[in-house]
Structures are given as C-alpha cells and as structure tokens.
Amino acid sequence: MKSLAVALSLTLIALGVSAHAEEGVQITPAGSTPTLIGNARNFSGQAAVDLKAAGDSDKLAGVGMVTFMPGARTAWHTHPDGQLLIVTAGKGWVQEAGQPRREIKAGDVVWIAAGVKHWHGAARDSLMRHLAIAYMRDGRNADWKELVSDAQYDAH
Ligand code: MN
C-alpha cells in the first residue's frame, strides 16, 4: 500500500497538486492569485493588494504586498498581534494615533505593536509599496476603524 501512496503522491505532484500542502518546501508562483483592489471601507484612494499568504488558523501571519498610489492610505486600524511593514518602493507615511505622521521609504522596516491604532499609505506625491506581515491572534490579524480624512492625512 505504501508504494501505491507514493505513486499517488508522485502523480499529484506531477499534476501540480500536493496531497500534503503544509509539508516540505512549497513554491507559490508569482501571479497565482489575482491582484485585489483595496476596498473602500478599509482604504482611501487606489491600493492594490497581492496576497502572498492568507492568514488562517494554520498560519502565523497574513502576508500581502500592497501598492498605494499617491494619496492612497489605509483606514485607521489595529492589529491584535502586531504587524511588520517592509517598504520596498517609493515613499509614504505611517501615523500612530496621537502622534505626528512619519515618513517611510524603500528599505525601511516598521513594527506596529499589538493594539496600536494607526494608518499607513503613500505620500501625496509618491507611490509607496510595502510587504505587510500581520500576525494572527484568535483567527484575526486586523481590526478596521474609520477612514483617514484628508485633513488627518495632510496634517503633520
Ligand atoms: Mn497596519
């Protein structure tokens, strides 16, 4: 029976389907999932989201590459177990509630601690792209709040 199982596994691998999706080394080819447009409840302006890993009960984090057009930003939100941002292109801003906004640019790494209300997005005159790694707690990795108004976005 073992040889049958091995033969079946090899057949599935040949078909590009793993019978054990969580084992071994996995490669998800670029473009495997469609680019999503950030929805208007959680984003202002144009933001494109390429989901790299879905956050679910088996994963430690949801991972997405997010590209913000100039002026685009997230709504205010918190992360129940924190978030790591790695800026890969352009220039943008991140703001913790009650603090001045801060500039971030390609190469910068940002850590947002659990429960801290904040937003992140592009600058007015530049796109900004970051890899966002939001750690899961109790099956959630973000709690969304109100949109960032133009007055809040432009204040500094
Ligand atoms: Mn965030």
Predicted local distance difference test score (pLDDT) of residue 91: 98
Q: How far, in Å, from the CA of 30 to the mean position of ligand 1?
A: 24
**Considering the entire predicted model, what is its pTM?**
0.82
Distance CA 54, CA 51 (A): 7
Mean pLDDT estimate for the chain: 86
Q: How far, in Å, from the CA of 112 to the mean position of ligand 1?
A: 7
43-85 pLDDT tens trace: 999 999 998 887 766 678 899 999 999 999 999 999 999 999 9
Pick 16 or 112 by higher pLDDT.
112
* DSSP secondary structure code for residue 2 in this structure: H
Asked if pLDDT for residue 139 goes beyond 60, the answer is: yes
The one-letter amino acid code at 79 reads H
Q: How far, in Å, from the CA of 75 to the mean position of ligand 1?
A: 9
Q: How far, in Å, from the CA of 138 to the mean position of ligand 1?
A: 17
Q: How far, in Å, from the CA of 32 to the mean position of ligand 1?
A: 24
Domain ranges for the chain, please list them: 2-154
What fold characterizes domain 2-154?
Jelly Rolls (2.60.120)
Least confident of 1-5, 102-106, 112-116: 1-5
Least confident of 59-73, 84-98, 120-134: 59-73
- Is residue 68 within 8 A of residue 105, CB to CB? The reply is no
- At a CB cut-off of 8 Å and minimum separation 6, what does 121 contact? 44, 45, 47, 68, 71, 72, 73, 74, 92, 93, 128, 148, 153
Predicted local distance difference test score (pLDDT) of residue 18: 37
Asked if pLDDT for residue 123 goes beyond 50, the answer is: yes
Q: How far, in Å, from the CA of 119 to the mean position of ligand 1?
A: 6
Q: How far, in Å, from the CA of 118 to the mean position of ligand 1?
A: 7
